[in-house]
Amino acid sequence: MSDRGVNSNQFTVLNVPTAEVAGYLSAADVGIAFYKPTFSRLATSPVKVSEYLACGLPVIVNAGVGDSDAFVAAQNVGAVVKDFNEGEYERTLAAIETLLAGEIRQRSRTVAETYFDVKSVGLKRYSRLYEKVLNRTN
């Protein structure tokens, strides 16, 4: 950050126990999940995105990583960076500022619970998948 001219009083880097991570994330204004859009990332669903949403944060993601860009846009829970340049960053910041002026924290949490909750979504989907697999082999 310092190499990029960001003043040290504008950011914090910490190493905290796992149990405290959600509290620190919840104190933030936005989550950023940038990944290099390579071939292997086409089928990636970054866990960071769901973690940020669960903490009530809007997210900024870059295009070309799994379906994160389409998901974030469709659910209106963040902004998508389509190109890494100053103009695109300014557009993205404006979009995030608009979201922050609304009820984004509750919407982010609701989206996380609806699509990523381990108990109500994950377990049911895995259970159905295993049932299909077991029924095909019997």
What CATH number is associated with residue 113? 3.40.50
Burial class (CB in 10 A: 0-12, 13-18, 19+), 131: exposed
pLDDT band, very low/low/confident/very high, at 73 (cuts 50, 70, 90): very high
pLDDT of residue 37: 87
Parent domain of 74: 2-137
Give the count of domains, the chain: 1
pLDDT of residue 138: 54
Sign of the four-CA dihedral 74, 28, 105, 22: positive
Of the CA atoms within 13 Å of residue 119, those in its CB half-sphere come to: 0
Q: Are 92 and 79 in contact (CB under 8 A)?
A: yes
Whether pTM exceeds 0.85: no
